[in-house]
Each structure stands twice: as C-alpha cells, then as structure tokens.
Amino acid sequence: MTKRALITGVNGMDGSHLADLLLEKDYAVFGMERRASAKNRRNTAHLEGKITFLSADLTDQNSLMRCLKEADPHEVYNLGAMSFVGESWNTPENTGDVNGLGCLRILEALREYNRPVKFYQASTSEMFGKMIENPASESTPFYPRSPYGVAKLYAHWITKNYRESHDMFNVCGILFNHESERRGIEFVTRKITDGVARIHLGLQDKIMLGNLEAKRDWGYAPDYVKAMWLTLQQDTPDDYVIATGETRSIREFLDAAFDCIDIEDWSEYVGQDPRFFRPAEVDVLRGDSSKAREVLGWKPETSFDDMVHRMVENDITLLRGNR
C-alpha cells in the first residue's frame, strides 16, 4: 500500500527536505502551500510533477479540511509557520494565529475527518528560551522569550492535550536550530554564508549583524527531517528533543564561514546594527537528544563544519550563476 503524507509549509526549508525524503520512501506526497499573487517554489521547483501541491492557509479552517479530504493522508506533518523569531515582535497577533491557532485548526480538522491519521507538530527549542536547564531535555521546564516561542508553546501543549483528550496519534518534535542550503536568507546562518559568498566574489563589503554572543545548537536540516519521519513510525506517540548537543556562538559560525574563503580575521568584514538586536534574547540553546537516540535510533550525521562548507559553497555557486 502506498503511504500518503500531507506536509504544511512544503515550500519552506524543512518542508522541501521532508518531501525529498518521503519521495525516496515511495510516499505519495501532498504539499500544502499558501498561494499569494506569485508562486514561492524556490525550494520545491524540483518537486513539480512529483508531488501534489494543495492551496490552503493555516488561518483558514475550511481550506485545511479540503486539504485533508484531497490528500486523504496517513501522516500529516505541520511544518507551516511564521518561523522568523525576530519578526514575531512586529506581528505578534498573526504569529499567534498561524503558529498557535493554526495547529489547533489542523487538530480540529483531523477530529472532524475522523480517520486514523498520525500528526507531527514542529515544536521548537525557542520554547526553552531562558534555558532553566542546560542541556534541555523533554522534561526541562519551558520559558519562551518571544511571541514566536509563546505561540509555539500553545501549539505544543494543544497537540499533547488532544493526544490525551481524544486518543489521537499526535507527536511533537522539539527541534533545535537546523540549517541547510535552503534556509531563508533572513536567518543568521544563511545571512552569513550569503554575505561571505558575496564578499568572496567582490559583490559586498560587509555583513551587518546583531548580537554575536548568542549561542545555538545547530544541526543540518536533512538529518532533522529524518527524525520527523522516524517519530511517526513508532507504535506509541511521544515527544522528542532533536539536537546535536553542541553549542556555538554567532562568532564561531563566522569563523567557520570565513574559513571557507581563507579569511581568518573577519573583523573588517562584519559590523553590528541595532536593528538586528532583539527586545529579549535567547542567549544559549543546547539540547539533550538522548531519548531520540535511544528510542528512534536517530543521530545527527552531518558535522557543523561540513554544513557550513556546503552552505557557503552553494551560495558561491548560486551567485556565480546569477552574474
């Protein structure tokens, strides 16, 4: 029997990598996208003709029900979100609507649909925020520091609540930061690798950033979508931290990225701009993924240095193509 999966946010970084993985596994893949006046298939152009795109929006209940009926999925992965933490202070209400209530809307649609569908919610290390424990595990108390983190915490708890209240197969992956060549340009890693590529090609003089001291537990996105799939293949629904267990500062990311173009001292190429600082910062994130390693047999496969190299090389190639 061919398995069918519905992915919300299919045009995003994770959505596109997950679609690649599920196609390798011979799934029929249905990708939910929200259609504006123009298509946004930068990450999914290669998937046209291989997956079925469905038009819907996490803020539109009827559209979600229509998607479920059209896809008739065995598995639903909710990866759609307003995923940029910095922007969530500018649009807190929309962030709550999409990231918090959007998840509730899918759960309600699933309840009404009333078939045995496994549901995956992309929860986030941003829910740990102040990091009551370091490293953070599934039992660490939450302390979100942004409207994004607060909205995601609602989605996390409502997913668990519907599992317990309605006996649904709902799981949450508490995903620490993960990056790839398909990362949005506004996130710090891609902003740096794109900037380093431009400096290398003589197209830009400086990269302007915010807080360089913040630390993140950075993994490679294709490894993380494997964890998503593994989580839904279990017999019992449960929640898992997905992380490398290593943490590095933005400065260390800069070291690795500039190293790719043989620049050791990058100080003249990097500036700071108050616009990129946040009203409340998450100073450090580090995750303990022991449970995922033991139960799912998951582990990160791509090293930090390899990931940074791939991103810089990809940006150099893209920019050379554009010139």
Interacting residues toward ligand NAP by CB under 6 A:
8-9, 11-15, 34, 40, 57-59, 79-83, 98, 122, 124, 175, 177-178, 184
Please give the residues from 196 up to 235 whose contact with ligand G4F meets the rule CB under 6 A. 209-211, 214, 216
250 binds ligand G4F (CB under 6 A): yes
Picked from ligand G4F, ligand NAP, none, the partner binding residue 79 (CB below 5 to 8 A depending on kind) is ligand NAP
Residue 318 · residue 258 · CB < 8 Å: no
In the list 260, 285, 292, 296, the residue contacting ligand G4F (rule: CB under 6 A) is: 285
92 binds ligand G4F (CB under 6 A): no
187 binds ligand G4F (CB under 6 A): yes
Beta bridge partners of 33: 55
Name the catalytic one among 44, 124, 140, 231: 124
Give yes or no: 148 in active site. Answer: yes
Instruction: Please tell me whether residue 178 adopts helix, strand or coil conformation.
Output: strand
Among 34, 4, 22, 41, which residue's Cα sits nearest to residue 222?
A: 22
- CB 35 to ligand NAP: min, Å: 8
Picked from ligand NAP, ligand G4F, none, the partner binding residue 188 (CB below 5 to 8 A depending on kind) is ligand G4F
Instruction: Report the residue number, 132 or 166, with the smaller CB distance to ligand G4F.
Output: 132
DSSP 8-state class, residue 162? H
Q: How far is CA 250 from CA 146, 205, 212, 216, 311, in A?
A: 19, 19, 5, 8, 15
Give yes or no: 124 in active site. Answer: yes
- CB 322 to ligand NAP: min, Å: 20
Instruction: Please tell me whether residue 272 adopts helix, strand or coil conformation.
Output: strand
Name the catalytic one among 126, 159, 189, 231: 126
Neighbouring residues of 207: CB distance < 8 A, sequence distance ≥ 6: 191, 192, 195, 196, 199, 269, 270, 271
User: Which pairing describes strands 248-249 and 207-209: parallel, antiparallel, or unpaired?
Assistant: unpaired
Give the neighbor-by-neighbor strand order of the sheet with 52-55: 52-55, 28-33, 4-8, 75-78, 118-124, 170-175, 240-242
- 249 φ, ψ (degrees, to nearest 5): -85, 170
- CB 180 to ligand NAP: min, Å: 9
Q: Where does this chain bind ligand G4F (CB under 6 A)?
A: 83, 85-86, 124-126, 176-177, 186-189, 191, 209-211, 214, 216, 250, 276, 278, 281-282, 285
Q: Which residues are catalytic?
A: 124, 126, 148
